[in-house]
Structure 1
Amino acid sequence: MKNILLEQEDMYREGQKIRFTEEERKLDIAFWKRKMGYEPPEQYLPADFSRTSPASAPSRTTRSYSLPAAIRQSIETYAKQAQVSSFLVLLTVLKMLMHRYNAEDEIRVAALLSGTISELAPMANPVIVQSFWTGEKSLDKAVREVQEAFAEAREHQSIPLDELASLLGLSQSAGSVPMFRVMLDMSSYGENLTEGNLLAKRDDGWHGDALADLTFRIVESEEEMTLAITYATDLFREETINRVAGHYFKLLEGALADPAARLFTLPILTDAERKQLLVDWNTAKPAFPRDASMVDLFEEQVKLGPDQIALLFEDQGISYQQLDRRANEIAHRLRSQGIAPEQLVAVCLDRSPDMIASYLGVLKAGGAYVPIDLTYPSERIAYMLEDSAASFVITTERIFADLPRLNATMVFLDQDSLEAKSKADSFPRSSSAAHLAYVMYTSGSTGKPKGVMIDHRGIVRLVKNIDYASVGPDETYMNLGAVAFDVSAFEIYGALLNGGRLVILSTNKPSFGEIAQTIQRYRVTSLNVTPDRLNVLLEDYSEALVGLRQVMPGGEALPVWLARKCLMKLPNCRLINLYGPTENAVNTTSYHVKEIAQNETTIPIGRPIATDRLYILDSQLQPVPIGVIGDLYMAGDGVARGYLNRPELTEERFPLDPFSPKAGERMYKSGDLARYRADGHVDFIGRADDQVKIRGCRIELGEIETVVGLFPGVRQSVAGVTKGKDGTTGLVSYVVMNAGASFEQQAIRAFVRDKLPEYMIPTFFVELQEVPVTPVGKIDRKRLPVPTVASNEAHFTAPRNQIEDTLVQIWEQLLDVKPISVTDNFFHLGGNSLLAMRMFSYMEKTFQKRLAVSSVFQEDTIEKLAKLLASDEDHAELSKSLVPISPVGTKPPYFCIHGGGGEVLIYGELARCLGQDQPLYGLRYVAGAPEVSVESIARKYIHELREVQPKGPYHLIGFCLGGAIAYEMAQQLLQAGEEIELLAILNYASPALPPLTMQDKIINSFKLLFRLPSELRKPFVMQKLRFVGKVLKKSVDESSPEDDNVQELVSATRSYRPKPYPGKLLLIRAVTNLNPAERLGWQTSPTGLIEEHCMEADHAMILKEPQVGVLRGHLRTHLQRKE
């Protein structure tokens, strides 16, 4: 080798004199743009610290390691046999190691070889050696590909790397994906041959180790071969570099011993590392009662403290003994109906003590419960009931009316049909630790949710004798988690199996104010909460949290900045970061956050709880080294049995545990990516598959893709996520339509709404002509466009006459969107009710023709509006109040009364949110009546709505002062013998209350300002300033007809004196409402009832996304509860 290098010295010097022609440079630039003209995948390295500055800035140091003589001999022997250079062998195995660290198809390593051996031409420039491969390849195959890639790169080396990076739009700085992170430098190979060696005299001006995170330099002498690794000290610790060198040597040893072996079969871990990862860091925590069932442990608490409070609900306190008796009653009823062990029982109830008692009653009877969230779309509820084939359904007659008809035994809790109280005090043991406890449905990639089966032992290990959180008689937990989400199991049984108290919220979607009020009222000590919710509570209601002893964020990653905020604002409260999927019984790991280093960028998820075990594995189920990202698996007593009725999926996601001493034990493949820290704690990296978490809800993007793909005309559907400026995450649906099929965003959205729960509805629907793919054929998500409200240019139709051309100009000015097709939908382009009113005002001035503003619901394109304007017929129907906003559907229609402006455009988003099967009509105000009173307006509206629906039951919604009109309509309809199924008043105080004085409004405004959530403060102030501006402007301007309409309505409602309402009323209050009156002054007779909810929105936002989705939930829940 030494003689060969000496012989090549002259060749190298001659090569330095080569001057590349401009034509050669152009050819090389074209080559590299074709080869690497796209952003490569991130190349992860097992770094200890985050990248906070450009890669060229950090200080660097070098560690040297002597290659064992046997490895050196093997390199030379194999190189001679394969007829390749030792350099290529070392480069190939280095790329193999990077592939094991990354598991990416594309690996790029920079190579520098100044004193090259005879088969290579002299080379003064480092080049990037790019290759695509998988772990299936062997050294024999890989070295040939690297040889070819290197030779190809060598032929196009005229462009220096810094210039090439600029041409390709790539960078070696932080925050970007560079051309390379690792370099192999053999320019010092044999540097002891001359005193003034080649490297020392190089004048090419390039210093590779200043651009690479890791530079592997091979130095050979007659005595030994040395590996020197230069590394950035602000990225790597010395012990990490020691491990990297060990992995390189281990892989060299294995690959050279068996050059035909597949890459992923070759070991890279030492025996000590393997034991540390699989055994030492999976040591079991304090023992829990493995043979006890959940029922055993609950009944033990009943005996220990029968009179202790178990449940707190509204104004009730239910003792352990009372809860046990109610559970026994339900269990007796199930047993008398013939329930068999592990039979499934669907629980379809509102959040209440009876819901908890039903869970316990099912378990006592030996069954397993299936919690059903009644806020889900009816189609999803029907699927879960059908798929579970529940033998029994626990519900009430009111809720049963809205459930699909099933072949199941119904148990009605509102009938006097439960077993006698004499049987309520005892119940024989019917369940064991190994029995099935519940089946909980979670998102599924097939378009249908999948049922996860959890046994008693999984929950017992979660909450008994635990050291990661405090449980016991002194703790008060709050059941904040959604009914059908697994965190509720930790809240319920963490309290009830340890003698604690459980606070039950009566609403599925409480406002932040309601959460804070409940925490203070019941002195909650332990709070499970998603990071999103925790942030708002800390920011706006921190004073309500001071009594908490432990806060346990979960459901999604805990940001460092939020952890810091929590430690600062709640210094006496334990902050415990929890992680775990539904398939491993709620919590798998925990991490007590105490101090956070200044340069920390991730809060660990910690170490496994109880007897749980964690494995971070590669695709061949081999453990990956510390710091290397791999697939996160979990094993132990928390692992679910599998998926109900899904044996193939169970087999795929619950493979046999190859590391367990127990034959047949399974582990769960979470689909999450993670890595071990050097101290044994685990970092959560993200999802490996198509799942995301939004507001703590786990979502499989594949399920969204499947449902969207069912819409007629959709050829391909891809779901993705988008980040807002405020850091919030939203869903995007990218759609490719069949030839000839039109992309109708509103129709697709309505279609999806009927099949998926609210949290899975994409915020954006974007049409694509084709889905971008990577060079290896995978979907290239980095190239999916950022969603906007821009026009769909694929079906662009230019204006064809003067009217259309004028309307295009009006729309472009209003919507700030160009270009606009005459077939574009006004609302899809970002139009709203305020813009619609301005548009119709411009149209009236321009065309001297007045149209009803509400006609935009039917004439929602320029093409349709132009035809309406060109027609001589009176299409405006200006004297008619009834507006068919969304007239199609099989359900009873909603009739929505205008607000103070008199128009009904405000209900457009509610109509779209309710779905295509829910008819919705607006009732707008038409001036000119001889008598203007709430009573006369109500009579007129009733006359018109009866043209659509002659008989009840009726559904009435009134926004702002329209609430008073809806109230009077309900009274008149009741007097006429009709039934009112829904009366909803949206943020309007009873006219019976004395109006607030200006002084009251100012004082209340300042009081409210400091109580509002931070995101509502600025809009609140701006709203008040706009109001003052309007008042000042009207003092000098002439009033418009619209202003006269408003004054008529205001005068009419102020004169109205409502009588107590004899039915059930749904009252929605905006958090910005200045009126402090209880229930906003509305009253009912003794037979009536008011259900009130406060929404985290200002007055105008109640009917807009995303709050309109919350409103929809309140409407549906109210109807389900109504007797």
Structure 2
Amino acid sequence: MDDIIVGRTPITSVQGKSSDAAILPSDQSALADGDIPVIRRIERNAARAPDKTALIYDDQNITYATLVLSARQAAAGLLRLGVTAGSRVAVLMHPSPELVSCLLGIHMLGATYVPIDPGFPKGRIDLILKDVEPSAIICSDHVFTEFSCEIARELVERLYSYSAVQTDGIPHEEHFRPHPVKLDDESHIFFTSGTTGRPKGAISSQRNLAHGMSSSVRCFELSDDLGILSVAGASFSISTFELLALLTCGGYTMIARRADILDPEKLFAAARKVSVWHFVPSLLARLIDYIEEVPERIAVLTSLKRILTGGDNVPLDLLCRVRRLLPAVQLYVNYGASETNCMVTYWPVRDAVPSKTRIGVAQHNVQLMVLNKQRSPVIPGEVGELFVAGPGVVSGYMHRNDLNEEKFFWHHGNRFFATGDMVRIDENGIYEILGREDFQIQLNGNRIELLEVESTIKRIGNIKDCVVTARYASADSNTLTLIAYLVGTDKSLPPVEHIKICLRKHLPEYMIPSLYLELNAVPTNHNGKVDRANLPEPGTCKVLESSASEPLIGELEKHLASIWRDLLPVQYIHANSDFFELGGDSIAAVRAMARISTELNCNVSMGDIISNRTVRQIANTITSRSVSQRANGDTDPGYLMLKSGRRDLSPLLLINGVVEYMALAKALRTQRAIYAVYLPEEVDLIVNGEKSAAATSTSSIAGITQLYLSVICKLQPEGPYFLAGKSYGGIIAIEVGRSLKAMGHKVEFTGLLDTVIPEVFTTHRKLSFRISEHLKRAVNEGPGYLLDRFRERYGIIKLSAQPTEDERSQNAVSDNIRTRHQVRKNAIFTTRLSKISGAITLIKARDRKYLYGERPSKDLGWNKYCDDLTIYEVPGDHHSILQATHVGEVAKYLEAHI
């Protein structure tokens, strides 16, 4: 073995604690010091074991010899294009064998690898390319045409497809001579969020990269008999660890397809084949959820040896769950940053029931300091900012001397990076992370520079000031939301849609705030700085709306506004306030309809509320409609046109809902009219509860089918019929279609939107299942959950005061809604499907959560009922597939059939 072995004594941290590095087997010991560039490591492994598997992708095994040959061909092709040592090459590709070939080929030339996520907005890609000034830009074959149209004109000549590079390099591979790469050569540049509105590029060397790989190999005891699943996007610095670490020590890397990562079933199918997992906490939690649903899945994880998690705060309960389910697997928490070439600490979680989340101790050759604001050391137990030194710390940021002076400094002969993370050290020298010192956060595993989002928002017209933060949108919420507080100029703030369109030109989707609130001024402290701690609660602020504010005129508009104020989580209502932009949903719409009918003596339908979304619109509708007209037989028809179309084409009928289909109707590109079909009887059930005749007529699928048939035949007396329904509406669509066929009509299309077969809900009726679900909730939410359930179940109310009239009204509405839910459950529980003749199209949510004891399956159970089933998967969960972010994908698949 020709590797040089040098001393491996770990550097002691300022607090005097050793990094406690793991001892590697002798045949891996030379890896521990990062003394050789990564590309040379991989080439040597290929020479020793050319036929050994290096990469797995789509069940295709790629050997070390094949990988290195492919990299040489890419290098030869890039050389022909003018790329030489010191050149920078931008790679716009998702993780794949081709990307790894590009990366290694670039390093063979002594050039710099600059990964860019091809999903980034054009504006962000342009900024990065302008900073880098690449000699070449490589993209995947299937997006070459798209990028050639979008990329800046002066860069088009430098854009090449991967196939073109490889094809040009194959004839010249034999004569290609790799560059003598040195550890001080530039290796790669990763771009992270920047406070000025521009992403900042951290420039790494071959030494930085070699250290990052070798230190992780040592600390996590990686070896040539292990394989890792790579899931990180190429633009995230941790992707270098996932793609290369196992290749440096002779193991293998399995690369997950991007489309499979959010599908727990597909992710698990890949993860079960490898021995090392490295997932951010949110992704690991999703996989653990999937395993817990069917504990027998643990038995197939025979290859799993290590689980690594970090990149975000790791919840304590997640560590406990992993320890409980997989006690024999080595579990680690890791911590690091792009500026330190990934990981700098590690913590082996050995306790069966951990009591606290930590980030552990320094990795090999890493030095840590904890300093106060004056950059003086703090004693153990006190909170301070974490500073890191070692071979992994980068040379600095590209074109940012100001930031380099702020974030990097020399201390006692070592160059430290200021992480901005606040930590403390316990009596055993173990580090615990507490949060950010600056305004950078981790949200859902993504690193977000809040100041960059703010800077981008402030460039939008009529916005004077902005503060962006992550917090809980309401007291009942348990999910952090990215919220923008906006201060306008003398003119009105722009509509929300306009703000989001502007942001999407420059920011990835995960950096775009979900909620926009209006402030008169940003709160400041006595020093004049923004006082983020005193930002008002979201519920007390005015929600930014699309329409310009108009004062309420007349008693009718004021009365309607007071009704809305009671039903919606807002205080500010004007004449153009949009019911649904302010948080209204279908249940709130029914409650609004009932109160308007009762208090204003004017019967209005669901269609009236949906079609007249603002206070002024519904007021005008009421004014133009006399009480006598409504009393003389005008009834709710049970359908509402969401989009007009050609009269000679049969309409698309979306069953069992109105509000949730609105975005879908808007997104669908079809010449057919689109109608939402609902039951007035169900509306009456919510208004009148047990007193409603619908409590009986809608308690079975047979009864519901007959009611829907009556509505549909009035709307469209003759076929062909095009039917679709989400969730429960899909089951109704099937049964209505079956009845229409029995009546001699043609049903051209039946679509199910994330509909599961009804018998899965019978699991929910089992006492054992309900008890286990309540115990899980009690563990997560505390004993108060069981007390609240007991009070709810047995009708226990507070005795300290009599309920007010408003409280009695609210309780009555809640009782009616519970009655409606119970009637619907009765219908589901008694549904018995029979074989379905004809084609069914199922559009399934890729990230759906499986409830009520449902076992995950690709077909949601429909294959056993239907011999002609077409299945599509779309991004999002059960609720979000019809929301603006994902509805376009649903529309695309529906358009192919209608």
Would the TM-score normalized by the shorter structure come out above 0.5? yes
1:608 to 362, 379, 386: 362
Question: Match for residue 566 of structure 1?
Answer: 322
Gaps of 5+ in 1: 1-273, 886-895, 942-956, 969-982, 990-995, 1036-1046
Letter of the structure 1 residue corresponding to residue 754 of structure 2: N
1:771 is paired with a residue whose SS is coil
Residues in 1 aligned to 2:892 and 2:108: alpha-carbon distance in whole angstroms: 29
Does the 8 A contact of 2:397 with 2:403 survive in 1?
yes
Within 5 A, what are the aligned runs for 1:818-857?
818=571, 820-836=573-589, 839=592, 853=607, 856=610
Residues in 1 aligned to 2:399 and 2:33: alpha-carbon distance in whole angstroms: 30
Question: Match for residue 987 of structure 1?
Answer: 754
Closer, same or farther in 2 for the Cα pair 1:735/1:467, shift >3 Å? Answer: same
1:462 is paired with a residue whose SS is helix
- Are 2:873 and 1:1092 aligned? yes
Question: Match for residue 710 of structure 1?
Answer: 459
1:762 to 513, 528, 537: 513
Does the 8 A contact of 1:1012 with 1:1072 survive in 2?
no
- Provide the TM-score with structure 1 as the length reference: 0.58
- How far 1:1003 sits from its partner (Å)? 6.4
- Are 2:390 and 1:390 aligned? no
- Are 2:656 and 1:901 aligned? yes
- Are 2:417 and 1:668 aligned? yes
Residues in 2 aligned to 1:336 and 1:762: alpha-carbon distance in whole angstroms: 45
- How far 1:364 sits from its partner (Å)? 2.3
Closer, same or farther in 2 for the Cα pair 1:361/1:787, shift >3 Å? Answer: same
2:99 to 328, 352, 355: 355
Letter of the structure 2 residue corresponding to residue 298 of structure 1: I
- Are 2:539 and 1:788 aligned? yes
Does the 8 A contact of 1:442 with 1:449 survive in 2?
yes
Does the 8 A contact of 1:714 with 1:738 survive in 2?
yes
- Are 2:882 and 1:1103 aligned? yes
In terms of mean alpha carbon deviation, does 589-598 or 626-635 score higher? 589-598
Closer, same or farther in 2 for the Cα pair 1:1000/1:564, shift >3 Å? Answer: closer
Does the 8 A contact of 2:75 with 2:108 survive in 1?
yes
Question: Match for residue 458 of structure 1?
Answer: 208
- How far 1:879 sits from its partner (Å)? 9.8
Does the 8 A contact of 1:540 with 1:1012 survive in 2?
no
Larger Rg: 1
Question: Match for residue 691 of structure 1?
Answer: 440
- Are 2:195 and 1:445 aligned? yes
1:277 to 4, 8, 14: 14
Residues in 2 aligned to 1:498 and 1:643: alpha-carbon distance in whole angstroms: 30
Residues in 2 aligned to 1:357 and 1:1012: alpha-carbon distance in whole angstroms: 51
Does the 8 A contact of 1:833 with 1:906 survive in 2?
no
Question: Match for residue 399 of structure 1?
Answer: 143
Residues in 1 aligned to 2:594 and 2:338: alpha-carbon distance in whole angstroms: 54
Closer, same or farther in 2 for the Cα pair 1:641/1:473, shift >3 Å? Answer: same
Residues 663-712 of structure 1: CA deviation (Å, up to 9, x unaligned): xx643221122334343333323211111111222211111211222232
Does the 8 A contact of 1:959 with 1:985 survive in 2?
no
Within 5 A, what are the aligned runs for 1:671-682?
671-682=420-431
Question: Match for residue 149 of structure 1?
Answer: none
2:114 is paired with a residue whose SS is strand
Within 5 A, what are the aligned runs for 1:1005-1024?
none
Residues 401-422 of structure 1: CA deviation (Å, up to 9, x unaligned): 4332231422223569614656
Residues in 1 aligned to 2:858 and 2:284: alpha-carbon distance in whole angstroms: 29
Within 5 A, what are the aligned runs for 1:179-218?
none
Residues 831-871 of structure 1: CA deviation (Å, up to 9, x unaligned): 124434654576678675767849857x5421343245445
CA RMSD of aligned residues (A): 5.1
Does the 8 A contact of 1:447 with 1:704 survive in 2?
yes
- Are 2:136 and 1:380 aligned? no
- How far 1:658 sits from its partner (Å)? 2.7
Closer, same or farther in 2 for the Cα pair 1:1054/1:512, shift >3 Å? Answer: closer
- Are 2:324 and 1:587 aligned? no
Question: Match for residue 250 of structure 1?
Answer: none
- Are 2:391 and 1:654 aligned? no
Letter of the structure 1 residue corresponding to residue 223 of structure 2: G
Closer, same or farther in 2 for the Cα pair 1:684/1:416, shift >3 Å? Answer: closer
Letter of the structure 2 residue corresponding to residue 452 of structure 1: A
Closer, same or farther in 2 for the Cα pair 1:1116/1:491, shift >3 Å? Answer: farther
- How far 1:555 sits from its partner (Å)? 0.8
Residues in 1 aligned to 2:275 and 2:875: alpha-carbon distance in whole angstroms: 24
Question: Match for residue 23 of structure 1?
Answer: none
Residues 736-765 of structure 1: CA deviation (Å, up to 9, x unaligned): 222342474554345434432222232332
- How far 1:390 sits from its partner (Å)? 2.7
Question: Match for residue 632 of structure 2?
Answer: none
Residues in 2 aligned to 1:505 and 1:1011: alpha-carbon distance in whole angstroms: 32
Does the 8 A contact of 2:664 with 2:891 survive in 1?
no
- Are 2:277 and 1:527 aligned? yes
Within 5 A, what are the aligned runs for 1:177-326?
277=14, 288=32, 290-326=34-70
1:390 is paired with a residue whose SS is coil
**Aligned residues, how many?**
753
2:208 is paired with a residue whose SS is helix
Residues in 1 aligned to 2:525 and 2:665: alpha-carbon distance in whole angstroms: 40
Residues in 1 aligned to 2:77 and 2:483: alpha-carbon distance in whole angstroms: 47
Residues in 2 aligned to 1:534 and 1:1069: alpha-carbon distance in whole angstroms: 14
Closer, same or farther in 2 for the Cα pair 1:828/1:304, shift >3 Å? Answer: same
Residues in 2 aligned to 1:836 and 1:1090: alpha-carbon distance in whole angstroms: 33
Residues in 1 aligned to 2:174 and 2:115: alpha-carbon distance in whole angstroms: 25
2:342 is paired with a residue whose SS is coil
Residues in 1 aligned to 2:671 and 2:417: alpha-carbon distance in whole angstroms: 46
Q: Percent identity?
A: 23
1:674 is paired with a residue whose SS is strand
1:752 to 498, 503, 515: 503
Question: Match for residue 865 of structure 1?
Answer: 618
Does the 8 A contact of 1:897 with 1:958 survive in 2?
no
1:804 to 557, 565, 575: 557
2:343 is paired with a residue whose SS is coil
- How far 1:768 sits from its partner (Å)? 1.9
Residues in 2 aligned to 1:477 and 1:292: alpha-carbon distance in whole angstroms: 22
Closer, same or farther in 2 for the Cα pair 1:781/1:866, shift >3 Å? Answer: same
- How far 1:433 sits from its partner (Å)? 2.3
Residues in 2 aligned to 1:627 and 1:792: alpha-carbon distance in whole angstroms: 42
Residues in 2 aligned to 1:369 and 1:920: alpha-carbon distance in whole angstroms: 48
Does the 8 A contact of 2:89 with 2:134 survive in 1?
yes
Letter of the structure 1 residue corresponding to residue 195 of structure 2: S
- How far 1:1060 sits from its partner (Å)? 10
2:567 is paired with a residue whose SS is helix
Residues in 1 aligned to 2:49 and 2:496: alpha-carbon distance in whole angstroms: 58
Residues in 1 aligned to 2:366 and 2:774: alpha-carbon distance in whole angstroms: 43
Letter of the structure 2 residue corresponding to residue 717 of structure 1: C
Does the 8 A contact of 1:631 with 1:669 survive in 2?
yes
Gaps of 5+ in 2: 1-10, 23-28, 630-635, 646-650, 678-711, 738-749, 790-813
Letter of the structure 2 residue corresponding to residue 553 of structure 1: T
Closer, same or farther in 2 for the Cα pair 1:791/1:1094, shift >3 Å? Answer: closer
Within 5 A, what are the aligned runs for 1:3-14?
none
- How far 1:398 sits from its partner (Å)? 3.0
Letter of the structure 2 residue corresponding to residue 321 of structure 1: A
1:805 is paired with a residue whose SS is helix
Question: Match for residue 449 of structure 2?
Answer: 700
Question: Match for residue 639 of structure 1?
Answer: 393
Closer, same or farther in 2 for the Cα pair 1:1027/1:741, shift >3 Å? Answer: closer
- How far 1:382 sits from its partner (Å)? 3.5
Residues in 1 aligned to 2:168 and 2:728: alpha-carbon distance in whole angstroms: 46
1:731 is paired with a residue whose SS is strand
2:218 is paired with a residue whose SS is coil
Question: Match for residue 224 of structure 1?
Answer: none
Residues 553-586 of structure 1: CA deviation (Å, up to 9, x unaligned): 2112334444344333322122222111111100
Question: Match for residue 993 of structure 1?
Answer: none
Within 5 A, what are the aligned runs for 1:861-1010?
861-870=614-623, 881=641, 883=643, 899-901=654-656, 903=658, 905-908=660-663, 923-925=674-676, 928-933=714-719, 935=720, 937=722, 961=730, 986-987=753-754, 1002=762
